[in-house]
């Protein structure tokens, strides 16, 4: 991940912040959580299910109700083994959106059959194009038609920055689609397995098929290990043709409080100093204090804002144990076996 900053300007800001932060300040902030999305599919050459991971950053402070809803589906395990059911493209073939969170594949009478994810209820829109927009890498909630308050489980990844029309800025009678997260391209957790948007670019490059008779939402269904010849011969997809998703909450990142002690102090600025003095060092989430995927002068702003914030609440960060790929694959086998 490249850094964009001016050494002179940063050092001046650094000096101001270091001077002002003589006393730790309790943080009244909101955590932004990282979610691992593990994509799982059948590999004929390996004779087993394999997986790849993409991380997203939940924008808890900008769309709190939508994020809470998304987390509720994760916590309840309702996204386990859901399929990517839509990969839509513009008329020129450019990727538009990749969509999931809506369906499982159950076995009914020996036939793989789509089944909807149980709804936890519709949520109100938190659309705010002044803060977030439907551009490449942003994650938004799907909904029923123009009913802005009808989103429940389905989400989509914006594959193009041409998607800003989904904000409906020019139509006062229609609210846009609520964006609540973004895909992270950097290796924010230090595990070296985040594929970021490149994973979704690969999904968007897969052939899609119209299986509207299986489910009306399956008109742009991306499949693996499936061919146009099989489609034209009338074959329906089976378990080994779908892309399955699993989601895991990984960690809470408190803006400004990178040490996780509930205080904003000079200790929290150390990762930024380290990044500043070694621009060639690997990307470090602790130096990216505003969590925008870049290490630059804006990362000092949380400290400056904390200096003028009225009094506060002590907070702490929570770091759940990440789920391993092995457990994900075991979970997939268990879910597929259970859904009969």
Residue of higher predicted confidence among 123 and 128: 123
Distance CA 163, CA 148 (A): 17
CATH code of the region 31-254? 2.40.100.10
What pLDDT sits at residue 184?
86
Q: Give 3-state DSSP helix, strand, coil % of the chain, rounded to 5.
A: 25, 25, 50
Res. 138 pLDDT band, cuts 50 70 90: very high
Percent over 70 (pLDDT), the chain: 69
What pLDDT sits at residue 318?
28
Give just the sign of the alpha carbon dihedral 162, 179, 298, 288. negative
Distance CA 50, CA 302 (A): 40
Angle formed at CA 185 by CA 154 and CA 126, multiple of 5 degrees: 35
What pLDDT sits at residue 27?
37
What pLDDT sits at residue 9?
36
Instruction: Identify which of 2-11, 107-116, 220-229, 282-291 has the greatest average pLDDT.
Output: 220-229
Dihedral through CA 252, CA 257, CA 263, CA 265, nearest 10?
160
Summarize pLDDT for 67-107 with one digit per residue, the tens: 999 999 999 999 999 999 999 999 999 999 999 999 999 98
Instruction: Identify which of 39-43, 56-60, 130-134 has the greatest average pLDDT.
Output: 39-43
Res. 250 pLDDT band, cuts 50 70 90: confident
Strand residues in the chain grouped as ranges (E): 25-26, 31-43, 48-58, 82-83, 86-89, 95-100, 103-108, 111-116, 138-141, 155-158, 179-184, 208-209, 221-222, 244-254, 263-264
- Asked whether the predicted pLDDT for residue 286 surpasses 80, the reply is no
- Asked whether the predicted pLDDT for residue 8 surpasses 80, the reply is no
Summarize pLDDT for 163-198 with one digit per residue, the tens: 999 999 888 888 999 999 999 887 666 667 889 999
Distance CA 101, CA 142 (A): 9
What pLDDT sits at residue 300?
72
| Ranges of each domain in the chain | 1-29+257-309, 31-254
Please state, rounded to an integer, the average pLDDT across all residues of the chain: 79
What pLDDT sits at residue 193?
84
pTM: 0.72
- Asked whether the predicted pLDDT for residue 317 surpasses 50, the reply is no
Residue of higher predicted confidence among 255 and 313: 255
Give the pair of three-digit tokens for residue 39. Answer: 């994509």
Of the listed ranges 20-29, 137-146, 200-209, the least confidently predicted one is 20-29
What pLDDT sits at residue 20?
43
Summarize pLDDT for 13-54 with one digit per residue, the tens: 445 444 444 444 333 345 678 899 999 999 999 999 999 999
What pLDDT sits at residue 277?
77
């Amino acid at each position: 991940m490249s850094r964009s900053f001016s050494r002179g300007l940063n050092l001046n800001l650094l000096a101001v912040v270091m001077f002002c932060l003589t006393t730790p300040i309790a943080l009244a902030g909101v955590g932004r959580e990282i979610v691992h999305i593990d994509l799982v599919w059948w590999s004929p050459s390996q004779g087993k299910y394999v997986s790849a991971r993409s991380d997203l950053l939940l924008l808890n402070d900008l769309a709190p109700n939508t994020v809470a809803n998304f987390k509720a589906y994760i916590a309840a395990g309702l996204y386990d083994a859901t399929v990517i059911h839509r990969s839509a493209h513009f008329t020129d073939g450019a990727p538009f959106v990749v969509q999931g969170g809506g369906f499982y594949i159950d076995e009914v009478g020996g036939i793989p059959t789509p089944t909807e994810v149980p709804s936890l209820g519709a949520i109100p829109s938190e659309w705010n194009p002044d803060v977030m927009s439907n551009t490449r890498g942003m994650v938004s909630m799907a909904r029923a038609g123009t009913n802005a308050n009808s989103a429940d489980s389905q989400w989509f990844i914006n594959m193009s920055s041409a998607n800003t029309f989904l904000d409906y800025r020019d139509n006062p009678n229609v609210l846009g689609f609520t964006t609540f997260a973004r895909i992270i391209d950097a290796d924010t957790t230090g595990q070296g397995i985040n594929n970021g948007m490149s994973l979704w670019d690969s999904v968007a490059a897969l052939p899609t098929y119209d299986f509207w008779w299986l489910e009306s939402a399956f008109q742009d269904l991306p499949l693996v290990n499936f061919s146009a010849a099989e489609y034209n011969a009338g074959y329906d997809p089976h378990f080994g043709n779908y892309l399955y998703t699993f989601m895991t909450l990984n960690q809470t990142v408190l803006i400004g409080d990178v040490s996780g002690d509930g205080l904003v102090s000079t200790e929290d600025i150390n990762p930024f100093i380290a990044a500043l003095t070694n621009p060639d060092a690997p990307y470090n989430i602790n130096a990216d204090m505003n969590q925008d995927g870049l290490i630059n002068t804006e990362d000092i702003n949380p400290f400056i804002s904390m200096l003028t914030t009225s009094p506060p609440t002590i907070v702490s960060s929570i770091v759940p144990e990440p789920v391993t790929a092995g457990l994900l694959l075991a979970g997939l086998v268990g879910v597929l076996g259970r859904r009969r």
